[in-house]
Structure 1
Amino acid sequence: MRSNNRVLALALFLSLAAGAPAFAAPWAEAGDEQLRSDLMILNDAGVIRVLTTQWPIPWAGVAAGLDDPVLYTKPAYVREAARRVLARIKRETAEGTRVENFSDATNRPALIRGFDAQGQANAQDQEIVDITSGGSDLHVAAGAISDNRNNGGGAALDLDGSYLAQRVKGVEIYAGEVGHWWGPGWISALSYSTNARPFPQAGIASAGTQRFKTPLLSWIGPWRGEFVVGLLDDRRIDKNTLFDAFRFTFMPLRGLEIGFARSQILCGAGHPCNAIDAINPINDDLHPSKTASEAVFDFKYHSTIAAHPVEIYTQIMNEDSSPITHSFSSYLIGTSAWFPVGKNTLRVTGEYVSSISTLNLFSFGTVGYGISYTDSKYPDGLRYRGRAFGFSLDSDSRLASLQANLTDSGDRSYTLSLHHALVSRPATGTANPITTTPVTIDYAEARVGLPTRIGVLGLAGRVQTDQPRPSRGATAAAEISLRVRIR
């Protein structure tokens, strides 16, 4: 039934595509670390004012400000960032039809999936067509995916990233399988990231960066909002489980970005399903919630220290009704700094994540194991196809990371990531599906992005000192991806 539904969805997408004359992508998708880094450089230089913790990011909010004459007074590395972003906007919002092919293959999919992660499985191949007619945007990404872990090595229909979107004044209404990254982290996002494959969904989002004009709300500054509702159509114990999520991000002061989000799974076979359950924020011992929900607060502040752009950020995921007590909170903290090297830019990021939930906010001595992505009412937890919606190491895990990324004047990207991971704990039991027992892993990845005449070639190599149980011992992996521009 799941395959039939996806075949019907593909047929509908292709029928809508027929005869549509032009292309203009509504947003920049999550996953391009070079674009994200460039946006941060331009934000810090005062060229643009774009919210960068809520992906996809509408192109309409990025383009404003890039034609300001003040840009030509900025340092060379800022002008280079603007050049790359303008080229990307020109390419992705140009009239006409765009056709691409994306292929990715690896002998072992990445255990730690950061913002820059590529393929979702052992092998993936998609033909991608972008078309628009007026305010309607169609992005068809159709192909096959083979995942040894979840599909037994067999190929399955892959529509990841496909969507149909309609702009209505200041909002974008869409349906499809869209990837999201909500949060300031470069290595992890606690509640909603691209760790899990996207699922069938519909949503409404700001079509650009908005501002309130009334004096009462103008202090909020630039803001964006998005609401998503989707169907978890994987192999679940509670079939037809629904997912919904909402995020609001704003910038009250230049450099300060604040985000609030709430996501939950609800309904499904054997569960009550009504609107009151979906919006009820109460969850305590006397009034237990009928859904499995997570609330998130995050902030990021960026400024310049000794002529270098610097950001600090944190994210807290709350499993219960109160953000202070009985909260079962997970934590993320990090910092990034950019070091100009002529026209080139070196970004260095340090990040720490813990999904061991503390009973009360910052009460690190009192914890609740097996809680972060597992709920007693829903045995499959807040996961899709076996992967958590947020942190790639799932419940009761810790991850310390150091990442360096260099972008040169030829738009070549080089990334080195070092990780120290503690996956699961003895008290976790089966609440972390990654490993049967706790394991400590040191993990390194080197990644290169090479622009070519036909597209972008990606190469990655990974080594790790141990593996999730029941496997044991050091192992290595290689990954190659190619995004070819056909038309």
Structure 2
Amino acid sequence: MGAIFALLLAAPAAASPWAEVGDNQLRSDLELLNASGVVRDITIQWPMPWQSIVSSLESQELSRQTPAVRAAAARLLGLAHAGTAPGFSGAVYLDATNKSDVIYGFDGMGRGDAQAQASLSLNSGIFSGRVSLGAITNNFGAKPNKLMPDGTYFAARLGGALVYAGYLDHWWGPGEISTLQLSNNARPMPQIGIQRSSTAPSHWPVLRWLGPWQFEFFLAKFDGPQIQSNVYYNGARLSISPLPGLELAAAKTEQFCGQGHPCSPLRDYFTNFDFSNHPDNVNGEGSFELKYSRLLGGVPFQVYAQMMNEDYSFSSSSGSSHLFGASVLVPTAGSPVKLTAEFADSIATRTPFSFGNFIYGYTYTNGQYPDGMRYRGRTLGFSLDTDSTLASVQGSWSDAAGRFYELSLHHATIGNRRGHGNIISDPPVALNQAEARVSLPLMLDRRGFKLDLAGRLQDNQPYPHGGFAAAVEVALRAPL
């Protein structure tokens, strides 16, 4: 375990006050500790402050825990200390593939055929920041290549709040493979926001029943190529854990202002809890989520669900999309194997549970906001866009050296003949995909590197390509 801790301290961690979106090994470790009762934290809202994770782990006596739990705790503490260490640090990130992945999840790699980025970070107690600059292309070796400031941020801890500005990825939802409302599928927009600096329970008697909780609010701007100019975005989310193992969340996101729209954001925000009341002013989505995890016969498991509504008129036209999933961490002689089954469906139902009564071409679209909930050609939520489904099974595990392995099988239907507007494929297409991934922590000259390798096979492709496809993707994170 000491070797793992030393390796992680030397690794080129992304210095920040958060555990950021993208590391499935980190997420699996936290879920194992949560289900085992070692920590009690929010696991359905990312990025997640390191402060609460570190304080929970450092106060625990782990000698009676299983070797798998102790190894997970060591990996998390190593990443937390590396990410929050004071001073300057730098890293470079490279990613290349012959075909970018249409199914983009929590641990998605590159968003294009190739990207390269360098970053310089500073942690200094109350203040922290990172400047990142790079380029991305969706057509390897050709133009245009786009500048990429993704991951740049400046943050200050003010009392119990963390105030930030920059280009940050978010993952709002319990889904292991997909989430409906806000994900890392699209590149991050320029934004300013505030969240709690720790998810610890409140000392106020009226809020103590919430258990660990997190609240976040941010404002962002659609600054890329858009049909409609001057459109802004806001997101507000509350996640709570009122009982051990139980997590609940509600979130609201909106597009507002924009060319041809009245721009009174404060008035519309506090009066528009039923989005149909002001159909010309905003394009909004609301999400409700549940996750429950615990030990059953000594085996950690979790079940979860998410429902996203395009409107709040539950009795007539909620426009609801759904996600359901379950995971179990099967004990083995070494590290447990995490098995996950998940189903995501962006074909909107007319009311929240009127399965079979659909509204096609509804999710992520809006007649008054022609771009919909999309940014730079990618959906803000579910990677397959509107009128699509994704059924997935996934297995993942770590070994004693800290390597992380992942195998996934997906069946996707992209778009539907009864609806229009899917930006991935029109006409619709169905495909099956198998993916194998490995993440390798490496030490060279006492410097830590991280190498990610992925191989994908699929029996079909989105229009206009079609047919069998094979892809290899390589990503490297190295210290400067």
TM norm structure 2: 0.93
Is the CA contact (8 Å cut-off) linking 1:48 and 1:64 kept in structure 2? no
Give the 3 Å change call, closer, same or farther, for CA 166–214 of structure 1 in structure 2. closer
Task: Give yes or no for the alignment of 1:483 onto 2:477.
Answer: yes
Is the CA contact (8 Å cut-off) linking 2:86 and 2:122 kept in structure 1? no
Which residues of 2 match residues 228-307 of structure 1 at below 5 A?
Answer: 228-274=218-264, 275-283=266-274, 288=279, 290-307=281-298
Task: Give yes or no for the alignment of 1:104 onto 2:95.
Answer: yes
What residue identity is the alignment partner of 1:367? F
CA drift of 1:228 comes to: 1.0
Is the CA contact (8 Å cut-off) linking 2:86 and 2:125 kept in structure 1? no
CA drift of 1:84 comes to: 0.6
5+ residue gaps, structure 2: 1-13
Is the CA contact (8 Å cut-off) linking 1:266 and 1:278 kept in structure 2? no
CA drift of 1:270 comes to: 1.4
Q: 1:146 pairs with 112, 137, 143, which one?
A: 137
Cα distance per residue 1:285-322 (max 9 Å; x no partner)? 67535211000000100011221100000000011123
What residue identity is the alignment partner of 1:58? P
Measure the CA separation in 2 of the matches of 1:287 and 1:413: 48
CA drift of 1:284 comes to: 6.8
Tell me the equivalent position of 2:6.
none
Which residues of 2 match residues 23-62 of structure 1 at below 5 A?
Answer: 25-62=16-53
What residue identity is the alignment partner of 2:283? A
Task: Give yes or no for the alignment of 1:89 onto 2:89.
Answer: no
- SS across alignment from 1:214: coil
Q: 1:464 pairs with 450, 453, 458, which one?
A: 458
Tell me the equivalent position of 2:408.
417
Measure the CA separation in 1 of the matches of 2:284 and 2:142: 31
Give the 3 Å change call, closer, same or farther, for CA 257–289 of structure 1 in structure 2. farther
Cα distance per residue 1:335-385 (max 9 Å; x no partner)? 001122234121110000110000011111211111111100011110001
Give the 3 Å change call, closer, same or farther, for CA 423–152 of structure 1 in structure 2. farther
Tell me the equivalent position of 2:428.
438
Tell me the equivalent position of 1:193.
183
Task: Give yes or no for the alignment of 1:404 onto 2:395.
Answer: yes
CA drift of 1:444 comes to: 1.1
- SS across alignment from 1:261: strand
Is the CA contact (8 Å cut-off) linking 1:142 and 1:158 kept in structure 2? yes
Is the CA contact (8 Å cut-off) linking 2:162 and 2:197 kept in structure 1? yes
CA drift of 1:123 comes to: 0.8
Is the CA contact (8 Å cut-off) linking 1:406 and 1:414 kept in structure 2? yes
- SS across alignment from 2:39: coil
Measure the CA separation in 2 of the matches of 1:245 and 1:69: 34
Tell me the equivalent position of 1:381.
372
Is the CA contact (8 Å cut-off) linking 1:336 and 1:347 kept in structure 2? yes
Measure the CA separation in 2 of the matches of 1:284 and 1:87: 44
Tell me the equivalent position of 1:204.
194
TM norm structure 1: 0.92
Cα distance per residue 1:420-473 (max 9 Å; x no partner)? 0011001212x1111120111011111110110131100001111111112111
Tell me the equivalent position of 1:72.
63
Tell me the equivalent position of 1:8.
none
Tell me the equivalent position of 1:312.
303
- SS across alignment from 1:341: coil
- SS across alignment from 1:70: coil
What residue identity is the alignment partner of 1:305? L
What residue identity is the alignment partner of 2:248? I
CA drift of 1:325 comes to: 4.3
Q: Which moved more, 1:65-74 or 1:434-443?
A: 65-74
Measure the CA separation in 1 of the matches of 2:39 and 2:325: 23
Which residues of 2 match residues 127-138 of structure 1 at below 5 A?
Answer: 127-138=118-129
Measure the CA separation in 1 of the matches of 2:175 and 2:94: 26
Measure the CA separation in 2 of the matches of 1:219 and 1:347: 31
Measure the CA separation in 1 of the matches of 2:143 and 2:431: 25
CA drift of 1:45 comes to: 1.8
CA drift of 1:282 comes to: 4.7
Give the 3 Å change call, closer, same or farther, for CA 90–217 of structure 1 in structure 2. closer
Tell me the equivalent position of 2:7.
none
Tell me the equivalent position of 1:180.
170
Which residues of 2 match residues 364-375 of structure 1 at below 5 A?
Answer: 364-375=355-366
CA drift of 1:94 comes to: 1.4
Tell me the equivalent position of 1:3.
none
CA drift of 1:153 comes to: 4.0
Cα RMSD, aligned residues only = 1.7
Is the CA contact (8 Å cut-off) linking 1:211 and 1:222 kept in structure 2? yes
Give the 3 Å change call, closer, same or farther, for CA 285–348 of structure 1 in structure 2. closer
Q: Which moved more, 1:134-143 or 1:273-282?
A: 273-282
CA drift of 1:152 comes to: 6.8
- SS across alignment from 1:270: coil
What residue identity is the alignment partner of 2:366? D
What residue identity is the alignment partner of 2:106? F
Q: 2:332 pairs with 338, 341, 354, which one?
A: 341
Q: 2:213 pairs with 206, 223, 227, which one?
A: 223
Q: Which moved more, 1:281-290 or 1:347-356?
A: 281-290
Measure the CA separation in 2 of the matches of 1:267 and 1:464: 41
Measure the CA separation in 1 of the matches of 2:75 and 2:276: 53
Is the CA contact (8 Å cut-off) linking 1:172 and 1:204 kept in structure 2? yes
Measure the CA separation in 2 of the matches of 1:76 and 1:233: 48
CA drift of 1:43 comes to: 1.1
What residue identity is the alignment partner of 2:196? S
Give the 3 Å change call, closer, same or farther, for CA 24–465 of structure 1 in structure 2. closer
Task: Give yes or no for the alignment of 1:162 onto 2:142.
Answer: no
Cα distance per residue 1:94-115 (max 9 Å; x no partner)? 1221111111011111100111
- SS across alignment from 2:99: coil
Is the CA contact (8 Å cut-off) linking 2:276 and 2:313 kept in structure 1? no
Task: Give yes or no for the alignment of 1:322 onto 2:322.
Answer: no
